[in-house]
Structure 1
Amino acid sequence: MAQQALVLSNYTFSETNTLIGTISGREPGSSFTNLKLVGPGSAMFTIDKNKKLHFKKGAKSTDAIYHDVVIEYQTQAGKFTDTLRVVKDQFIRNQVIAHRGAWKQRGTTENSIAALQHAIQLGCMGSEFDVHMSADSVLVVNHDHTVGQVPIETTPASELAQLKLSNGENLPTVEAYLKEGMKQNKTKLILEIKASKVSKERSVALARKVVQMVEGLKAQGWTDYISFDYDVCKTVMQLAPYAKVAYLNGDKSPAELASDKFFGLDYHYSVLKKNENWLQEAKKHKITVNVWTVNDKELMQWFLDRKVEFITTNEPEMLLELIK
Structure 2
Amino acid sequence: MKKTLLHLISFAFMAYYGAVVTMAQSTLSLTNYTYSPTQLVIGTIQSKEPMTRFTLRGPNAALFGVNKANQLSIKSGATKSPEFWYDLIIEGQNATGIQRDTFRLVRDQFIRNQVIAHRGAWKQSGTTENSLTSLNNAVKLGCMGSEFDVHMSSDSIMFIHHDPTVEGIDIEKTPAADLAKLKLSNGEPLPTLESYLREGMKQNRTRLILEIKTSKLGRSMELTERVVAMVHHLKAQAWVDYIAFDYDVCKKVKALNPVAKVAYLNGDKSPEQLEADHLTGFDYHFSVLKKNEAWLQDAKQRHLTTNAWTVNDRSMLQSFLDQHIDYITTNEPELLLELVSK
Bin for the TM-score computed over the shorter chain: over 0.9
Identity of aligned residues (%): 59
1:219 aligned onto 2:236: yes
* Partner residue of 1:6 out of 5, 9, 28: 28
**Maintained 8 Å contact 1:99/1:293:** yes
TM-score by length of 2: 0.90
Shift of residue 76 of structure 1? 3.1
Shift of residue 24, structure 1, vs aligned partner: 1.8
RMSD after superposition: 1.3
CA deviation digits over 1:105-133, x for unaligned, max 9? Answer: 01100000110010001000000000000
Query: Which whole-Å deviations, capped at 9, do the CAs of 1:171-226 have from their partners, x for residues lacking one?
Result: 10000000000000000000000000111xx1111101100000000000000000
Aligned equivalents of 1:102, 1:57: Cα separation in 2: 36
Write the mapping of 1:10-49 to structure 2, written as runs, cut at 5 A.
10-25=32-47, 28=48, 30-49=49-68
TM-score, normalized by length of structure 1? 0.95
- Which residue is 2:6 aligned to? none
Deviation at 1:39, TM superposition (A): 3.3
For residues 268 and 114 of structure 2, the distance between their equivalents in structure 1, rounded to whole angstroms, comes to: 23
> In the alignment, does 2:97 pair up with 1:75?
no
Aligned in 2, Cα 1:111/1:60: closer, same or farther, shift over 3 Å?
A: closer
Q: Which residue of 1 aligns with 2:10?
A: none
CA–CA distance in structure 2, aligned partners of residues 217 and 32 of structure 1 = 25
Which of 105, 109, 127 does residue 90 from structure 1 map onto? 109
Secondary structure at the counterpart of residue 299 of structure 2: helix
2:288 is matched with which residue?
271
* Change beyond 3 A, Cα 1:191–1:32: same
Structure 1 CA distance, aligned partners of 2:141 and 2:206?
A: 10
**Aligned residue type for 2:87:** D
- Quick one: distance in 2 between partners of 1:190 and 1:306? 22
Q: Which amino acid aligns with 2:205?
A: K
1:134 aligns to 2:153 (yes or no): yes
Partner Cα distance (2:176, 2:77) in 1: 49
Counterpart code for 2:33: Y
Aligned match of 1:285: 302
Displacement after TM superposition at 1:59 (Å):
4.9
Corresponding residue number in structure 1 for 2:183: 164
Question: What is the aligned length?
Answer: 319
In 1, the alpha carbon distance for the partners of 2:278 and 2:40 equals 25
Query: Structure 2 stretches of 5 or more lacking a match?
Result: 1-19
Query: What is the one-letter code of the residue matched to 1:153?
Result: E
Mapped partners of 2:58, 2:225: distance in 1: 31
1:148 CA displacement: 1.6
Q: State whether residues 36 and 79 of structure 2, in contact with CA within 8 Å, keep that contact through their aligned partners in structure 1.
A: no
Query: Which structure: greater helix fraction?
Result: 2
**3-state secondary structure, aligned to 1:319:** helix
Residues 179-190 of structure 1 mapped to structure 2, 5 A cutoff = 179-190=198-209
Structure 1: tracts of 5 or more residues without a match: none
Tell me whether 1:210 sits opposite 2:227 in the alignment: yes
Question: 3-state DSSP class of the match of 1:110?
Answer: coil
1:63 to partner: Cα distance = 1.4
Give the CA deviation at 1:58: 5.8
Alignment of 1:240-279 (within 5 A): 240-279=257-296
* SS of residue paired to 1:265: strand
